[in-house]
C-alpha cells in the first residue's frame, strides 16, 4: 500500500471510536480469560480494518451516528430494526478487529493461515476413511 493510499484511508473521530468501544464491549465482553473487544479495538486495530475494508467506514458512521440510543443494547436493537446493513458493517468491523489481533489469536490457539504441502499423487486420509462418500 502506498503512502498516498494509507493517507486516504478512512478514519473515525474520537467520539465515534469511544462509542464503537462501548458497543464492542457490549457485543464481545471479557469472559473466560479473553479480553473484551473494547480492550482490543485500539485506534490501530480500527485503522487496520478500515484500511482493508474502506467501504465499511460510511455504514459504521451511520451506526455510530447521533439520534440513536447511547445505551449499546438499545442502539444495536434499533439498528437491527431500522438499519441492518449499518449494524452488519459495525459488527463486521468489531469482529474483524478482534479476531485479527495477535493476542486474541494466541489466546484461542489460532496461528493464522498456515501453508500446507499438497502431494497430488497421494489420496487424502479423509477419502480413504470414506468421510465424503455420502
The answer to whether 47 and 17 are in contact (CB under 8 A) is no
pTM of the model: 0.78
The answer to whether 83 and 63 are in contact (CB under 8 A) is yes
Which DSSP symbol is given to 124?
Answer: P
Q: What is the pLDDT of residues 18-61, one digit of tens each?
A: 999 999 999 999 999 999 999 999 999 999 999 999 999 999 99
CA–CA distance, 74 with 78 (Å, rounded to integer)? 6
CA–CA distance, 23 with 25 (Å, rounded to integer)? 5
CA–CA distance, 46 with 98 (Å, rounded to integer)? 10
Q: What is the pLDDT of residues 96-131, one digit of tens each?
A: 999 999 999 999 999 888 888 888 888 888 888 888
Amino acid at each position: 500500500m502506498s503512502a498516498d493510499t494509507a493517507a486516504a484511508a478512512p478514519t473515525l473521530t474520537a467520539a465515534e471510536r469511544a462509542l464503537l468501544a462501548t458497543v464492542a464491549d457490549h457485543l464481545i465482553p471479557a469472559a473466560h480469560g479473553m479480553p473484551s473487544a473494547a480492550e482490543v479495538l485500539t485506534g490501530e486495530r480500527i485503522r487496520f480494518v478500515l484500511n482493508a475494508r474502506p467501504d465499511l467506514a460510511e455504514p459504521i458512521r451511520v451506526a455510530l451516528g447521533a439520534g440513536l440510543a447511547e445505551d449499546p443494547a438499545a442502539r444495536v436493537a434499533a439498528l437491527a430494526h431500522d438499519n441492518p446493513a449499518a449494524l452488519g458493517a459495525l459488527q463486521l468491523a468489531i469482529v474483524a478487529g478482534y479476531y485479527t489481533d495477535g493476542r486474541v489469536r494466541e489466546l484461542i490457539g489460532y496461528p493464522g493461515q498456515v501453508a500446507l504441502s499438497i502431494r497430488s499423487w497421494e489420496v487424502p486420509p479423509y477419502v480413504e476413511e470414506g468421510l465424503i462418500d455420502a
